[in-house]
Amino acid sequence: MTTIRIGIIGAGGNTRSRHIPGLRAVEGVRIVCVANRSLESSQKAARELDIPRAHARWQDVIDDPEVDAVCIGTWPYLHAAATCAALAAGKHVLCEARMACDADEARLMLASSQHSDKVAMLVPSPFGLKGDRVVREMIDSGFLGEIRELYIRGLSAQLADATAPLHWRQRAELSGVNILALGIMNETVQRWFGRADSVVAQTGLFVPRRRDPATGLMRDVDIPDSVAVLARQADGANAVYHLSGVAHFGGGNRIEAYGSAGTLIYNFGDDTILAGRAGEKELKPVPIPPDKAVASALPTLPAGWRVEADFIESIRTGKPVTLTSFADGLKYMQFTEAVRRSADTGRRVPVGEV
C-alpha cells in the first residue's frame, strides 16, 4: 500500500479533534508537516501533535516535496488561496467548511478543481450523517410524498454573553458571508431535499460591539447573531430557517419535513428520527440500524464521521467525492450569499444569480 503524506495548514480545533485523528486512523497515512499562523505557533502545534516538521508559512506546506495532500483547517478567508495553490502544485485537498468567504471564491475553487486531476473535497456538514441512508431511503420510497414545508431551526445561547470577546466567526474579513450554522444547515437540506430558488431574509445583531482579544479594544461586530430566512425550494416547497446565537434554552437543532403523505423530524443533537404517515395518530421513532449507520473511522469520532477515511479512499481508488464536492460547496455558498444580500437589501434574491 502506497503511503499518503499529509501536510496540515491550520491546526485549529476541528483539525486537532477530528481531522488529525481521522487521518491517523487510516492505514498508510502519515502527517509530515504543519503550518499555523506563525513559525512559533507552527512549532508549538508540531510538538503537541507529534508532527515531524513545522513550517513558517502555509505556502511552505504546499511546496514541501514530501507532501501528497493537504488538509486546510484555517478560517474561510484562506480557503480559496490555499486550495487553488495546492491543486496547482499537484496536491490533493481536503478543505474545512465553510467553503469560502463568498460565492466568487467558491467558483474559483471549483474551477481550479475542474482543471486538476487531484481529489478536492470539502469537510461535509456533520448534521444527519449517521442517519443519512435511512432518511434518503424514506424520501426515495415516497414516505413523505410531495414535500410541502421544511422548517430548519438552530437556536442557542452561544453568543448571548455580551461580555464574551469577539470570535473570528463574527468578523466578515475572516468568515465571509457565513452566518452561524446557516451554511451547514443548508448543506444538509440540499442533500435531502434539493436547492432553493430564492430567499427573503432578515437578520439581527443584538450584541453589536465586543472586545477584540488581539487588541483588548472594543470593535464593531459585522456578522449577525440571528437570521430568519423564507426560501422557495426548486420543487415549490416552502422552507423556513431560523438560527440564533442569543436564544437561551433554545432547544436542539433539527429539520422538520412535512409532505403530502407524511412527516419526518430529524434531531441533529442526538441523531434521532421521528416520523409518521398521514392519518396516523402520532409520530413514532425510526431506528437507524447498525448496517445503515455510517461507521466512523475511529470510535472516538462522532457517529457517522468518515470524512478523512473517505478522502483517502478517493485518492487511492478514484472513488468520486459524494460528501462534499466542490460543486456542492458552491451551491451552499450561493445560498448563504443570497441570504446576506436579501437581508442587506430587504428584497427577495434569486439563489442561482449569486
Q: How far apart are CA 321 and CA 83, in angstroms?
A: 16
163 occurs within a structural domain: yes
Report the C-alpha gap between 63 and 90 in whole angstroms.
Answer: 10
Residues written for the chain: 354
* Same domain? 119 vs 188: no
Which CATH number goes with the domain that contains 48? Answer: 3.40.50.720
In the prediction, which pLDDT does 305 show? Answer: 87
* Cα–Cα distance measured from residue 37 to residue 2, given in angstroms and rounded to the nearest whole number: 31
pLDDT at 255: 98
Looking at the fold, whether 110 and 148 belong to one and the same domain comes out as no
204 and 345 within one domain: yes
Confidence of residue 242 (pLDDT cuts 50, 70, 90): very high
Q: Are residues 114 and 175 in the same domain?
A: no
Domain boundary among 123, 150, 172: 123
How high is the pLDDT of residue 291? 85
> Do 117 and 201 belong to one domain?
no
Number of domains in the chain: 2
Q: How confident is the model at residue 1, as a pLDDT?
A: 67
What's the pTM?
Answer: 0.95
Which grid coordinates belong to 300? Answer: 472516538
- Is residue 200 one of the residues assigned to a domain? yes
Expressed as residue numbers, the domain containing 145 is 132-294+331-353
Could you tell me if 145 and 250 lie in one domain? yes
- How many Å apart are CA 99 and CA 107, to the nearest integer? 10
184 domain residue, yes or no: yes
Instruction: Calculate mean pLDDT across residues 131-145.
Output: 97
In a domain, 102, yes or no: yes
pLDDT confidence of residue 354: 61
For residue 239, list its beta bridge partners: 150, 231
Question: Is the residue at 318 inside a domain?
Answer: no
Domain end, chosen from 97, 123, 149, is at 123
Same structural domain for residues 74 and 105?
Answer: yes
Q: Are residues 67 and 165 in the same domain?
A: no
d(CA 95, CA 254): 25
DSSP 102: S
pLDDT > 90: what percent of the chain? Answer: 94
Q: Which of 123, 140, 174 is the last residue of a domain?
A: 123
The answer to whether position 16 is within a domain reads: yes
Per the listing, cell 425550494 goes with 233
More confident residue, 301 or 60: 60
* Buried b or exposed e, range 58-69, using 16+ CB within 10 angstroms: bbbbbebeebbb
Pair (140, 265) in one structural domain: yes
Cell numbers representing residue 159 in the block:
453568543
Buried/exposed 250-280: b ≥16 CB within 10 Å, e otherwise: beebbbbbbbeebbbbbbbeebbbbbbeeee
Tell me, yes or no, whether 152 and 274 share the same domain: yes
Q: Which CATH number fits the domain that encloses residue 195?
A: 3.30.360.10
pLDDT class of 302 with cuts at 50, 70, 90? confident
Mean pLDDT of the chain: 96
Task: Name the residue among 201, 187, 189, 234 with its Cα closest to residue 330.
Answer: 187
Decide: helix, strand or coil at residue 3: coil
Q: How far apart are CA 312 and CA 150, in angstroms?
A: 34
How far is residue 335 from each of residues 34, 184, 200, 205, measured CA to CA in Å?
Answer: 33, 11, 11, 20
**Contact, 103 vs 224, CB < 8 A?**
no
Q: Are residues 109 and 178 in the same domain?
A: no
The string of pLDDT tens digits covering residues 322-353 is 999 999 999 999 999 999 999 999 999 999 86
Structural domain includes residue 301: no
Identify whether 78 is part of a domain.
yes
CB 264 within 8 A of CB 135: yes
- 114 and 137 housed in the same domain: no
Average pLDDT of span 182-209: 97
